[in-house]
Each structure stands twice: as structure tokens, then as C-alpha cells.
Amino acid sequence: MKIAVYTIALNESQFVERWAAAAAPADYRLVADTGSSDDTVEKLIAAGVAVSSIAIKPWRFDHARNAALALLPTDIDICISVDMDEVLQPGWREALLDAWAPGTTRLRNPLEIDIGADGVARRYFYSSRIHQRFGYQWKYPIHELLSAAPGTVEKTVLCDRLRIRHLPDDAKSRAQYLPMLASATAEAPDDDRLAHYYGRELMFRHEYEAAIVELRRHLGLPRATWKAERSASLRFIGRCQKSLGRKSEARSAYLQACAEMPDAREPWHDLAKFCLDEQDWTGGIWAVTRALAITVVPTDHTRDAKAWGIGPYDIGSICAYYNRQPDLARDWLTKALELEPDNPRLIKNGGFILPAT
């Protein structure tokens, strides 16, 4: 089986050596450069990576990735799309070949994000960017998605051993995201996925009124049936309403998010945080209790690391303390400290919640 690792790049000099070294076990490595003005191309060539220059105007991520895919040799069996700021973890080739059973067309594997200073990934979701050479294409101008071409009969396998780690440059601008999402939603107004991402991006940019309109539009689309994403849109509406000072509307949105996906921890966590901010101690305790009863961790982009870390215990300990439930407050704070023993705020809270020794 011949394996290729491929991607697109623009001024990614700082990541070249790391990317090339991690992808070295591949039979072929290809980068389609989209116009770098730094030494990205020179470094890639020095590392033995095949480089082709492409020009995509107007810019679309899907067209660029499809161009890169088309440049791969025809005798490649398996293709791995790995961005320049992502790192294939050691042992990936062996894990891939072990999992790639006869007839496989695509593989799902963990993409690790939110990497702490200790090197531990605090969050991951399953990505599906490893695929057979033919029968796949990239779709969407931004937040692009690998999709099966018409006529492709998919057989997807899961491989937890093959892990990719995202180590981004946080200083990199996201300025192009909003206009590209606006253009993409105008191009495909019935696409629920694009509507959700567009509304989320508007929220990130603090354009709360516009975000609420777009997220509500997402919820009204016929194809918006994925409950996890619907619940996330309602959570985002709650955050926007809260930021606009509309407390009643925010509470309603959070409750709707919980009703949409009652077996997800994220909406209950967001409701608990809202109750804490509103000094609704009993409401916060109720929401935290509901959150902690949920133990199945989601593996998609709707997962919120805070909800699966100290978040519920931290919020719950404060609510219980002010609700005069000292035993519960101590229990939850102790669990929070077990997760983050060096957290200075938790330690400070322990000074008045935990008994003196």
C-alpha cells in the first residue's frame, strides 16, 4: 500500500520541519503552495517534500485542496490530508495499515486539540480526512469537508491509534473567515452546516444581533436535524443574548439547548454558568447535577473542554457554598482540585470552602 500525505500551504515556514518529519514514514509527501512569500517552499524542498505552486482566485479552501489532491500520483492507495500546523503522531503508519481492511475507502481518527503546557490534549474529536486516492472531493469554500464523489460506495473504519495533533499559530489572523462564510452561505443558503458555522463566527466577532439572526435561521432549515449542532446553536444564542444584557432571553435559549440535547453535558454546563452569574444558586446546582450525570463524551466539534474539565465542579462548588450546602461544596471543589491541583483560583476558593487542617 502506497501512502501519501498532502496539504496546502501559505507562509508556513515555522511548521515545515515539524510537518515534514512527522510525515516522513509516508511514501510520498506533497504540498501545494498557494503563493508563499517566505521560505516555505525552499524549506520543503530541502526536506525532500514535493512542492507544486497553485493559484486559486477567488480563494476557496475546497478548490485549493482539490487541486492538491489532483497532483498526487495515480498509484497512491491512501491519502492523508494533514495541515501544516498539524502533527502526525509516532506509529501512525503502522496503525493505519493495521486498520485499513480490504474494501476500506475512508478512515476516522482522533484529532487532538487544546494541547496544554503539559503536552496533554484536553480535547479531541474524530476527523475523516484519510481516504482512498479516487472517489473523494473537497466541498465548501471554508470549513471545507471531504465528501464522497457520486458513485463512491463508502466503507469507513475507526482507528483510535492513529492520532493527529493540532498545534496552531494562535497569532494567525482569522480575518478572512467571516467574509468567506458570508459568501458561502449566500451561495448555499439551504446548507445547515454553513449556517451554523457562520452564526458561530459572527458570535466570535461579537456581532451578536447578526449572530442570533443567523443561528435562528440555522435552526429553521429543513436539513438542520443534527441535535448536537442544534443544541450548540441555541447555546450560542444564549451567549449572545447574555452579552446583550437580555437575561430572560438568554435563560430561555439555554433551557432550549438542554431540551434539544438533554444527554449532552455542554448545554447543562452553559446553563449552570449562567445561573452562577445570576446568583441563582439552586438553579446552578440543578444544572451541574444534570451535567455530571452525563458521562458519554462527544467526539465531534460540539464538545466543550470546560464542560468536561473542572467547569461543572468549579461552578457547582460556588453555588453550593452560597446555597449553604457545605458538604456538597467541599465535594465538588475537591474534585475540581484533583483535576487542576495548581489552579490558583481553586486554591483560593479552598481557603473558605474546605475545612482547615
Helices 281-292, 265-277: inter-axial angle, 10-degree rounding:
160
% pLDDT > 90, the chain: 86
Beta strands of the chain (E only): which ranges? 3-9, 28-33, 50-53, 78-81, 86-88, 106-115, 121-132, 136-139, 145-148, 156-158, 164-166
The answer to whether the peptide bond before residue 344 is cis (omega within 30 degrees of 0) is: no
**Higher pLDDT, residue 357 or 59:** 59
Give me the amino acid identity at 319.
Answer: C
185 lies in a domain?
A: no
Give one word for 30, left, alpha or beta, with left for phi > 0 and alpha for psi -120 to 50: beta
Residue 236 domain boundaries: 226-353
Whole-structure pTM value: 0.81
pLDDT, residue 356, reads 63
193 lies in a domain?
A: no
What CATH number is associated with residue 148?
A: 3.90.550.10
Residue 123 above 80 pLDDT? no
- Averaged pLDDT for residues 92-113: 96
Query: Both 106 and 230 in a single domain?
Result: no
How far from the centroid of its chain's Cα atoms is residue 286's Cα? Answer: 28
195 lies in a domain?
A: no
CA nearest to 56, candidates 46, 70, 42: 70
Residue 341 above 80 pLDDT? yes
What CATH number is associated with residue 335?
A: 1.25.40.10
The residue to which cell 502533527 is assigned: 87
181 lies in a domain?
A: no
Q: Give Cα separations from 18 to 88, 89, 142, 169 (angstroms).
A: 10, 11, 25, 13
- Averaged pLDDT for residues 290-310: 89
Of the listed ranges 149-158, 177-186, 213-222, 234-243, the one predicted with least confidence:
177-186
Query: Both 142 and 239 in a single domain?
Result: no
Give me the amino acid identity at 13.
Answer: S
Query: Both 27 and 112 in a single domain?
Result: yes
The residue to which cell 457562520 is assigned: 198
192 lies in a domain?
A: no
Query: Both 128 and 46 in a single domain?
Result: yes
Residue 357 above 70 pLDDT? no
84 lies in a domain?
A: yes
Sequence-distant (6+) residues with CB within 8 A of 337 are 343, 346, 347, 350
12-28 residue pLDDT tens:
999 999 999 999 999 99
Query: Both 45 and 136 in a single domain?
Result: yes
Pairwise CA distance, residues 356 & 43, whole Å? 59
- Give the chain's domain count: 2
138 lies in a domain?
A: yes
219 lies in a domain?
A: no
